[in-house]
Amino acid sequence: MEMRNSERCILQWLYILVSLSVVYGRYTRWKSFAIYTNGVIYTVDPFDDEWDLHPEEAMVVNDHTGYIEYIGDNAVALQYRTDSSYVHDLGGNTVLPGFHDVHMHPLEAMTELGGGCSVPSNTPPENMLYNISQCKPRDDATAWVLGHGHSIEYSIEYILEHINNGGRPPNEIIDEVMDTNPVIIMEETSHSVWVNSKALELAGITKDTPNNPGGIIMKDASTGEPNGILFENAGNEIMDLAMKSFKNLDEMNYDALLLGLEELRRNGITSVCDARTYWKRNHHDAWKMACDDKELTVRAVLGLWAYPHMNDAEQIQRLKELYTNGYNKNECFLKINEIKVYSDGLLESTTGAMLKPYVKNFHLPGLDENIGMNYFTQERLEVYFEHLQAFGYDKGFDFHIHAIGDRGVEEVLNAIEKTKEKGTRHRMTHLEIVNQRDIPRFQELDVIADFQVTGTYTLPDKLYRIENVVGESRAKNFIPVKSVEDTGAAVTLSSDWDVSSLNPFISIQHATQRGSQSISVKSAIEMRTINAAYAMRQENEVGCLSAGMAADFVVINKDILNIPINQIGTAKVLLTALQGEIIYQLDKK
């Protein structure tokens, strides 16, 4: 009997399905999988508002590609097992996407160039003398002695209580133990330095030297002579001068970066933004070298430093030349597509740009109105946005902008509003004092708000430190994470390492302990993963855990969504994976 068309069609489809099954069977036998079972796996899926309520228990990673094949049940995951597969029993430990840190300084944090010689923190210069006397140049080719350690608060206190009352300035005191070598001692936030007379001489700083944009040279009130305290970019400039004399600068940069990468792995961090890539000090070359040597164990975006004292046209052209949306050696994860620019300084030193005067007045030279200062004015920022956020064919920098005071924040938002190109992902960082009228503008302008809450100074019981400088009313909503989040704006959390701890669990814990500005643990995790991935333009690759995404993940010893908040900071990283490759595993000994 002749076969009916319908029957023939069914047989043909059966044949196709059997063939596909055979092919798939051969394909899966050829493939190698890493299978993770018996875990508490939080996907942080942006399309699932309740990802925190139903963690998965297993994950399958393709060893050849480093991408996730499956997330779900143990039984299904184990069906992927082949002769070449390896099953990792997570033992009930928790899995999260690899942490992102979109504002940190991994090279600077570990370098021996700008901070190899440590001095006591809250002490007068006289008590630093022994430490300084033991310091030596880090390079045979240079006479410069570089150190770090004293606090910004003590610098201000020393100015008010000692120098302004006739006490000897730091340069004269340091000269007692070291007058032939130039000395630079950087304070812990890197926003000011103390130097000796030899350093001032080599830098050509005299009583007639004016302040360059973004910098303040402190001078004796009666004589006008520089006293050895340089704020903000004045400190950066003298540090640049010292760096020029180092013959092994590139080697020391590279060594520091490798040490920084090791710390990132230990802390479960798989993606970072270098928040101040000093290209005149060849920092970007160290990152490229790590890529060339297959040592780059992190997805990295470099934020090229915009030098406030440099000619705009010259600098803009040079920044364009440094741009790359992917460094193509050894398939590493390196991009140079952000610009780091400062709008203002710090609240503690009254250099942060404020709309109204500070309640304290340190009488800093050139800041007669006592409303802070600008590195880059609004008008100048507009020029940089217009020339760099979109140029050439399919090229453009995202801007990463330091703004701390309410005037600095408002001026940056104004500049973005006037110049913004569609598709840009500009990010403002710190945002310590924000005027209420500017809170909605982050969402309206599609500007990412990046906050740091790792330091204990951001907690409510330490608020008096800021109240003493700006007043109680303006300090009320210090670092307004919750207020900005409530508008629907994209919000990230970062560390600003090494100003604060690198530990992501401390930032997550502190974010939930800030009184009226507290957020949920769930939100804090999203800000350290998928939101930050968006800021780095890689949300379609990493930031959450689902089939088809790259297997960047971290295994930790505590379910931080289901333990007391005050214990979150004690969580430990057991394993860190980048694109499926295990790059760190805690020694069980």
Handedness of CA 227, 375, 482, 55 (dihedral sign): negative
| Rounded percentage of the chain residues whose pLDDT exceeds 70 | 92
Q: How sure is the predictor about 13, in pLDDT bands with cuts at 50, 70 and 90? A: low
Question: Which residue is associated with the tokens 């330490």?
Answer: 462
Report the C-alpha gap between 227 and 170 in whole angstroms.
Answer: 6
Last residue of a domain, one of 209, 226, 244: 244
pLDDT attached to residue 362: 85
**516: β partners:** none
Which among 66, 35, 33 has a CA at the least distance from the CA of 550? Answer: 66
Domain range enclosing 158: 114-244
Residue 36 has pLDDT above 90, yes or no: yes
Residue where a domain terminates, one of 244, 268, 287: 244
Please determine, for residue 28, whether its predicted confidence score (pLDDT) is greater than 50: no
Residue 448's H or E segment, with its range, is: strand 448-451
Residue 87 domain-assigned? Answer: no
For 485-523, how does the pLDDT look when each residue is reduced to its tens digit (9 = 90+)?
999 999 999 999 988 999 999 999 999 999 999 999 999
- Can you tell me the distance from the alpha carbon of 545 to that of 552, in angstroms, rounded to the nearest whole number? 8
CA gap 28, 37 in Å, rounded: 19
| CATH code of the domain covering residue 419 | 3.20.20.140
Please check whether residue 471 lies inside any domain of the structure: yes
Q: Is the peptide bond before 175 cis (omega within 30 degrees of 0)?
A: no
Domain shared by 366 and 502, yes or no: yes
Same domain assignment for residues 371 and 318 = yes
Question: CA 375, CA 381: separation in Å to the nearest integer?
Answer: 10
Residues 183 and 269 in one domain: no
pLDDT of 19:
43
Whether 48 is covered by a domain: the verdict is no
Q: Are residues 340 and 261 in the same domain?
A: yes
Token pair of 194 as six digits: 């103390």
Predicted TM-score (pTM) above 0.85? yes
Task: Give the number of domains in the chain.
Answer: 2
Among 244, 261, 295, the domain-final residue is 244
User: Of 86-95, 315-324, 390-399, 426-435, where does mean pLDDT reach its minimum?
Assistant: 390-399
**For residue range 290-343, what is the model confidence (pLDDT) as tens digits?**
999 999 999 999 999 999 999 999 999 999 999 999 887 667 899 999 999 999
Q: Domain of 197: which CATH number? A: 3.10.310.70
Residue 93: CA atoms inside 13 Å, Cβ hemisphere, count? 17
H or E element: which one contains 34?
A: strand 33-37
Task: Judge if 349 and 238 occupy the same domain.
Answer: no
Q: Are residues 291 and 380 in the same domain?
A: yes
Judgement on whether residues 291 and 423 belong to the same structural domain of the protein? yes
Residues 6+ apart with CB under 8 A from 335: 300, 301, 302, 324, 325, 326, 327
Assess whether 218 and 343 both reside in one domain.
no
Backbone angles phi, psi at 119, to 5 degrees: -120, 160
In a domain, 143, yes or no: yes
- Which DSSP category does 165 fall into? G
- Do both 276 and 206 map to the same domain? no
In this predicted structure, what is the pLDDT of residue 23? 38
Does one domain contain both 190 and 261? no
